[in-house]
Amino acid sequence: MSVPIIMFFACALLAVLGAVLLILAREPIHSALALVLVMMSLAVLYLLLGAPFVAAVQIIVYAGAIMVLFVFVIMLLNAGVEERTDFSKIAKWVGVPLGFFLLLVTAVYLLHSSIGTTIATGVGAANQAADTRELSQQLFRQYLFPFEATSILILIAILGALVLARKDE
């Protein structure tokens, strides 16, 4: 067992654990924290794939900005404990088997694709060539238009949120 493989399984387990906790926790803050756990484990997985920039951005954007806002809003609204409803019949009889089926399909796909072996052998961690400079050149030369289009979309969304939140006068 090499260190990358141990790290991979530890973080993969943590990510799954966090995701399950996210659904099962009844206190909204606990759910939010579980989601932070998922984000952080994913960041480590990105590191193992040899993408430190993506890992850092994952932490800054998701764990450091978005989830902090979530926690902030939950605290501000003082959201109480969730109330459980009975599970719907459709979810029970169709959703659960379908979920397992999807899991199976993904597992079989990963077994036969190169992605799975790249992660598991930790080859990616040694291959740090995909550095920040290269990434930004791709982003600001080849994919400049989609990049700018996305940023304008986000700007529009922010403006929309402001308009919705503004009081009528």
Partner 1 sequence: MGFITQHPVLVVSLVKIAVLLFIVMTALAYLTWLERKVIARIQSRWGPYNVGAHGLLQPLADGLKFLFKEDMTPPTSDRLVYLLAPFLALSLALTAIALIPFGPPSVRVLGQSVFIISDVDIGLLFLLSITSIGVYGVALAGWSSNSKYPLLGGLRSSAQMISYEVSLTISVVGVLLLAGSLSFNEIIEAQRGYWLHFIPRWHVVPQIVGFLCYITAAIAETNRIPFDLPEAETELVAGFHTEYSSFKFAMFFMAEYANMITVSCLATILFFGGWLSPFPDSWTWQIFLPGAGLVLLGAYCAYDTVINMRGIAQIQFLVVTLLALGGGAISLYPPVASVIQGPFWFTTKILAILFFYIWMRGTLPRFRYDQLMSFGWKLLLPVSLANLVITAFVIIWPLLRHG
Q: Where along the sequence are the contacts to partner 1 (CB under 8 A)?
A: 3, 27, 29-30, 33, 36, 52-53, 56-57, 59-60, 63-65, 68-69, 71-72, 75-76, 128, 131-132
Output the smallest distance, CB 35 to partner 1, in A.
Answer: 12
Minimum distance from residue 100 beta carbon to partner 1 (Å): 31
Q: Tell me the three state secondary structure of residue 46.
A: helix
Please report how close the Cβ of residue 25 comes to partner 1 at its closest, in angstroms.
10
Q: Under DSSP, is residue 88 helix (H, G, I), strand (E, B) or coil? A: coil
**Inter-CA distances, 93 with 7, 14, 96, 116, Å:** 36, 28, 6, 31
Closest to partner 1 by CB, 53 vs 120, is: 53
Q: In the complex with partner 1, which residue's Cβ is closer, 65 or 96?
A: 65
Are 7 and 40 spatial neighbours (Cβ–Cβ below 8 Å)?
A: no
Which DSSP string corresponds to 144-156? HHHHHHHHHHHHH
- The amino acid sitting at 153 is L
Looking at beta carbons only, is 33 or 110 nearer to partner 1? 33
User: 125, 48 in Cβ contact below 8 A?
Assistant: yes
By beta-carbon proximity to partner 1, the closer residue of 54 and 119 is 54
Gap between the Cα atoms of 117 and 124, Å rounded: 10
Cβ–Cβ under 8 Å, residues 50 and 130? yes
In the bound complex, what is the minimum distance in angstroms from residue 149's beta carbon to partner 1? Answer: 21
Q: Which residue number, 73 or 108, has a Cβ lying nearer to partner 1?
A: 73
Residue 162 Cβ vs partner 1, minimum distance, rounded to whole Å: 14
